[in-house]
Structure 1
Amino acid sequence: MKTSEFENVGYEVRDHVAVVTLNRPDRRNAWDGAMAVEYRWALHHADTDPQVGVVLLTGAGDMFCVGADAGTLSDVDRTGGYVRARAELPPYPADAPAGMRHNHTYPLALSVPVIAAINGPCAGAGFVLACFADIRLAADNTKITPSFAGLGLPAEYGIGWILPRICGTQNAAEILMTNAVMTTAEAKELGFVRRSYPRETFPECAFEYARGIARHSSPASLAAIKRQLYVDAEADLDQAYLSSVSAMNAMVAGPDFRTGLRAMRAKQRPWFLGDPAAEA
């Protein structure tokens, strides 16, 4: 599926950042099957574009994603289960383990970081999307809630696995069991949100944060680190250690290591994507 065919997701690459925008503002960016398909394709295009260093996920207007579309929820109530849309989806990365070969866990398998820029209300399906990003940023005075317990649902789509790894078991239990409606400040205190910015400057601040990673962090390192965080960390220490040594031995012969070494000797920040002279 080409990005020009997207109707529910915006896709734009600027300064090596793929900005993916949930784009159903008339429905408060509510999640549905068509959006899910386009989101998968957007991530695939970003991951396979060598000029993309980071994905920045946000919502159109002043909303992030308020959850599943009301029509979808009505269908679930009527049929007693989710109806799976039949659509062509992009392939999973060849080395993706089984746990990452699912729609919602797919971002963890990518070689590029995914940053959720929570620009407005975030609930239900939007909360799931934010959980499977690598880093979460939020605009001040934003409301964030899982909403599952209030609907008689479990922590959906593996959230019970990922949320404790984000903010610890006790904080995850509080968020999920109380069905907390968190402000940005509360979400930061609980460890769910990493950084926050004033609402009026949030888009620019979030983009600058993402662009900094794309410019100054090695693509090869980012891909390796993601695997270490989500795959190697689930193995025992010996396997994780040996895997890191193997990766290190391979990567010292790569171009990114030479770029970083030159920058260190010159006492400058390394530039991996983009021309520092042209962008100065």
Structure 2
Amino acid sequence: MELKTTRYALEAGIATITLSRPKRRNAWTGRMHTEYRWLLDQADKDPAVRVIVVTGDPEGQAFCAGADLGALEGHAEKGRYDPGTAEDIARPGYGVDPHFDASFAYHFGIGKPVIAAINGAAAGVGLVLAAFADLRFAAAGTRFTTTHGRFNFPAEFGLSWVLPRIIGLTHANDLLLSSRIFTAEEALEMGFLNKVLPADELMIHVTDYARKLAASVAPGSARETKRQIYRDLHRDAATAVTEAERLLETMIRHPNYAEGVKAWMEKRAADWKG
């Protein structure tokens, strides 16, 4: 696929997807969503990829400023919502669990950790994208907002489901009902972010974190643990325990289990396979 609104780089097991419409503050369009899903699908299928990082083009001075204004105007003119995507759009993460088979929820079906490196404003769908990542790091002073209230929209793309699970109902109600702006520092206090860093240290920290994750965690463990986390949001405790025991019986037979034990005993980095 020709990339017009995104960039892709792979180095040392880390796939970096950059939202790149700098003249529009990396605002979201149907084309960007199409490219983003295609890139996620490619990264998920590539055995060389261990971790996926999503960030914004720094020239845009935002992570993603939300839906492009032109798209918002188009909805008003058409009198209906138009996602701007085709029926044959890529479906990364689909087929793992029916609970994940929808826009942005597909992140939960992807078999690799997804890290959001939020290097500027994240509004509307930009906040959605960050919320559905597995880990979130942001530059100090970054501003966030749900935005939907000012457009007579509902909470977008499952924010009403995911935000209460990340930050609790009290904080989620505040952000969803008010559509107010909040800062990275406030988001960290609420538990939305893993860490807030100086802007010039953000990508250094995220890259280092991703490298350590890729080196120290077996790919099968990362995949199955991630799926357990999001599936268990719908399960009772007993089912979660039973499924964990089933996975243990299966995964202990994989060569990476023996390699992990051997590497630990020999005090060296593991040589993961698969």
TM range (shorter): over 0.9
In the superposition, the TM-score normalised over structure 1's length comes to 0.91
Instruction: Give, as a single letter, the amino acid of the residue that structure 2 aligns with 1:17.
Output: I
Q: Structure 1: how far apart are the matches of 2:119 and 2:92?
A: 28
Q: Secondary structure at the match of 1:224?
A: helix
Asked whether the equivalents of residues 6 and 38 of structure 1 are also in contact (C-alpha less than 8 Å), the reply is: yes
Instruction: Give, as a single letter, the amino acid of the residue that structure 1 aligns with 2:201.
Output: T
2:215 is aligned to 215
Kindly state the Cα deviation for residue 94 of structure 1 after the two structures are TM-superposed.
6.1
Q: Quick one: which of 36, 39, 46 aligns to 2:33?
A: 36
Q: Please, which moves more after superposition, 160-169 or 92-101?
A: 92-101
Instruction: Give, as a single letter, the amino acid of the residue that structure 2 aligns with 1:232.
Output: D
1:278 is aligned to none
Kindly state the Cα deviation for residue 144 of structure 1 after the two structures are TM-superposed.
1.2
Asked whether the equivalents of residues 216 and 271 of structure 1 are also in contact (C-alpha less than 8 Å), the reply is: no
Q: Secondary structure at the match of 2:153?
A: coil
Cα deviation, 1:111-166, whole Å, max 9, x if unaligned, reads 00111100011101100100110111001111111112232222111111111111
Q: Structure 1: how far apart are the matches of 2:100 and 2:57?
A: 27
1:52 is aligned to 49
Q: Structure 2: how far apart are the matches of 1:218 and 1:153?
A: 42
2:114 is aligned to 114
Could you say what the CA RMSD is over the residues aligned between the two structures, in angstroms? 1.6
Kindly state the Cα deviation for residue 87 of structure 1 after the two structures are TM-superposed.
5.0
Kindly state the Cα deviation for residue 269 of structure 1 after the two structures are TM-superposed.
5.1
Flag structure 1 segments of 5+ consecutive residues without an equivalent: 274-280
Q: Structure 1: how far apart are the matches of 2:271 and 2:64?
A: 34
Q: Quick one: which of 5, 8, 19 aligns to 1:8?
A: 5
Asked whether the equivalents of residues 93 and 108 of structure 2 are also in contact (C-alpha less than 8 Å), the reply is: no
Asked whether the equivalents of residues 111 and 222 of structure 1 are also in contact (C-alpha less than 8 Å), the reply is: yes
Percent of aligned pairs with the same residue? 36
Q: Structure 2: how far apart are the matches of 1:10 and 1:147?
A: 26
Kindly state the Cα deviation for residue 266 of structure 1 after the two structures are TM-superposed.
2.2
Flag structure 2 segments of 5+ consecutive residues without an equivalent: none
Kindly state the Cα deviation for residue 239 of structure 1 after the two structures are TM-superposed.
1.5
Q: Structure 1: how far apart are the matches of 2:245 and 2:140?
A: 41
Cα deviation, 1:197-251, whole Å, max 9, x if unaligned, reads 1111222222111222112111101111111111133122222111110000111
In the superposition, the TM-score normalised over structure 2's length comes to 0.93
Asked whether the equivalents of residues 30 and 69 of structure 1 are also in contact (C-alpha less than 8 Å), the reply is: yes
Q: Structure 1: how far apart are the matches of 2:94 and 2:52?
A: 20
Q: Secondary structure at the match of 2:158?
A: helix
Q: Structure 2: how far apart are the matches of 1:95 and 1:86?
A: 19
Q: Structure 2: how far apart are the matches of 1:185 and 1:156?
A: 23
